[in-house]
Amino acid sequence: MPLSRRQDLLRALPYARRYARALCGSQSNGDLLVAESLRELMAVDDPSMPPRLRLYQWISRHHAQNSGETVTHQGGMPPVARKLLLLTSLEELPVADAARVLSLAPDQAATMLEEAHTRLRSCAQTSVLIIEDEPIIAMDIEELVRQCGHTIAGVASSEAEAVRLARETHPGLILADINLGDGGDGMSAVASILQQQDIPVIFVTAYPERLLTGDTIEPAFVITKPFEPLTLAVSTYQAVSGGVSLN
């Protein structure tokens, strides 16, 4: 494989990890999927598709083979529809590119995506604990969470408040900012909560690539700030219906 394409593949790795982790519901399984796909891709050179799309494609294929998804419909939505949602919302691919990744005709992908969007609001509704230290941003996130059909378990601006609210409200999902300013660290708050309760977690950050290195224990679900309501809806659906942990 030419050096330029190898470099393109390496640049795509953080985004591939985000997609694979969201697909699998865990860092360890997602990163293993990426490593598997990358090894095979490095051994061949196929210039018919950009390296980033090719990596998404191989991850999707390996996931299908490993999970037996041809007969499994987790959470009531076909696995291919879940992948379309993740590729177009979390990874922000155009529908045509997502269709290429999943070997679908563009019109077939568009129809499937439209059906998936209509189902999002009716499934996997839950109560959400928001951990965010900026009041205006917290209010915006509250509104987005409600737009997705969820209820607010509470809003915490510090580690201590987050741990207390989680203990009192038993939320169905945690939506946490990484940096809480003087209030501490979002990941530390979540780690403390998860010692007592098993709750799906989505981390929000302006710099997702810093949490997608694969070098340490990192989140399974990461969305980029600022985000659209659909991105939150898709990530929440996958986290709540698929199950997720920090590793």
Tens of pLDDT, residues 81-90: 989 999 999 8
Whether the per-residue pLDDT at 6 is higher than 80: the answer is no
Is residue 247 assigned to a domain?
A: no
Give the pLDDT of residue 123: 66
Q: What is the dihedral of CA 118, 120, 122, 126, to 10 degrees?
A: -160
- Whether the Cβ atoms of residue 23 and residue 15 lie closer than 8 Å to each other: no
- Mean pLDDT rounded to a whole number for the chain: 84
Instruction: Give the DSSP letter string of 49-80.
Output: S-HHHHHHHHHHHHHHHHHTTTS--GGGS-HH
Tokens of 127: 């109560």
Is residue 169 assigned to a domain?
A: yes
Is residue 32 assigned to a domain?
A: yes
Q: What is the mean pLDDT of residues 114-121?
A: 80
CATH code for the domain of 176: 3.40.50.2300
Q: Regarding predicted confidence, which is higher, 14 or 226?
A: 14
Q: Are residues 134 and 219 in the same domain?
A: yes
Q: How confident is the model at residue 76 (pLDDT cuts 50, 70, 90)?
A: low
Specify the pTM. Answer: 0.78
Q: Could you say which of 74, 102, 120 is where a domain stops?
A: 120
Whether the per-residue pLDDT at 244 is higher than 80: the answer is no
Number of domains in the chain: 2
Residue 191: domain span? 127-242
Is residue 27 assigned to a domain?
A: yes
Q: Which tens digit of pLDDT belongs to each residue from 169-206?
A: 999 999 998 888 787 788 889 989 999 998 888 988 88
**Prior bond to 226 cis, omega within 30?**
yes
